[in-house]
Amino acid sequence: MTNKTYNADLSRRHFFSKAAAAAGMAIAPGVFLRQVHARPAEQAATSEKRWGILIDTDKCAKGCDSCVTACMNENGWGEINNSEEHSNPHQKAQWIRKVTVKDKQTGHVQSLPLMCQHCENPPCVDVCPTGASMKRADGIVLVDKHTCIGCRYCMMACPYKARSFIHEDLEDQKVVAPRGKGTVESCTMCVHRVDEDGTPACVEACNADNHNAMYFGDLKDPNSEISRQLKQYGGEQLRADLGLNTGVRYRGL
């Protein structure tokens, strides 16, 4: 018994010393060069990173939907995959949508893309009865369709209406985005691209169209473009009052 306690203590101390070393590295970012290499394929995602997207609503062009189209092309939903022939447009999947908001007092109209906000405290994960709704160590919120039973609690819990349910058999899915009947899905922050050091399709398309309204990067790296932008100009969370600490931030709202 005594032995056991001793061992537990040792490993605890070991853990703390390691944690302190890791924290030290993070505290002095300027000393180290920024990591430019992709995480090796055999290495798991860690909480040393937290991926986020910053959206500048002033730069987001009204009537432009290149982020939505890019997402469809990348992940094979919407017009790209017309498998759900009996469903109406409101029932069909919407991983990302363009929303127009108007200030009734001033008449100021803004346009912005809305998708899964990749919360730090995701309500969809809280309510999931099977553990299918999950957050990866690096902050990306996903649905594990292997265990999703299609109960749609997460759809009700999500304050951003970010999730969709597949009602019918699908065919011709993309390799990178398996989707199927009876499961819930949402924006994956293009996790397959992120794992290969890439940028989500929506951000890439926005930049390609020279709108540059979206920044993608590591929120925990103070030297990343997104962190510098957030530090200098700020960025709001949608429904910050809910305390979800979203990974997607908006500026100019």
The rounded distance, in Å, linking the Cα atoms of 10 and 146 is 38
Verify binding: residue 241, another protein, rule CB under 8 A.
Answer: no
Residues sharing a CB contact under 8 Å with residue 198, sequence separation 6 or more, in sequence order: 190
Task: Please identify which residue in 4, 34, 90, 146 interacts with another protein, judged by CB under 8 A.
Answer: 146
Q: Which stretch binds another protein (CB under 8 A): 1-9, 23-31, 120-128, 192-200?
A: 192-200
Under 8 Å between Cβ of 152 and 64: no
Q: How far is the CB of 83 from another protein (least distance, A)?
A: 8
Task: Please identify which residue in 180, 198, 222, 252 interacts with another protein, judged by CB under 8 A.
Answer: 180
Q: How far is the CB of 252 from another protein (least distance, A)?
A: 32
Task: Please identify which residue in 59, 174, 211, 228 interacts with another protein, judged by CB under 8 A.
Answer: 174
Q: How far is the CB of 192 from another protein (least distance, A)?
A: 8
Q: How far is the CB of 11 from another protein (least distance, A)?
A: 22
In the complex with another protein, which residue's Cβ is closer, 12 or 181?
181
Verify binding: residue 44, another protein, rule CB under 8 A.
Answer: yes
Verify binding: residue 197, another protein, rule CB under 8 A.
Answer: no
Verify binding: residue 137, another protein, rule CB under 8 A.
Answer: yes
Task: Please identify which residue in 91, 111, 173, 245 interacts with another protein, judged by CB under 8 A.
Answer: 173
Verify binding: residue 41, another protein, rule CB under 8 A.
Answer: yes
Q: Which stretch binds another protein (CB under 8 A): 97-105, 150-158, 175-183, 239-247?
A: 175-183
Q: How far is the CB of 170 from another protein (least distance, A)?
A: 8
Nearest in space to 231 (alpha carbons), one of 241, 239, 221: 221
The rounded distance, in Å, linking the Cα atoms of 198 and 128 is 29
Verify binding: residue 186, another protein, rule CB under 8 A.
Answer: no
Determine the straight-line distance between the first and last CA of the chain, rounded to whole angstroms: 59
Q: How far is the CB of 176 from another protein (least distance, A)?
A: 8
Verify binding: residue 36, another protein, rule CB under 8 A.
Answer: no
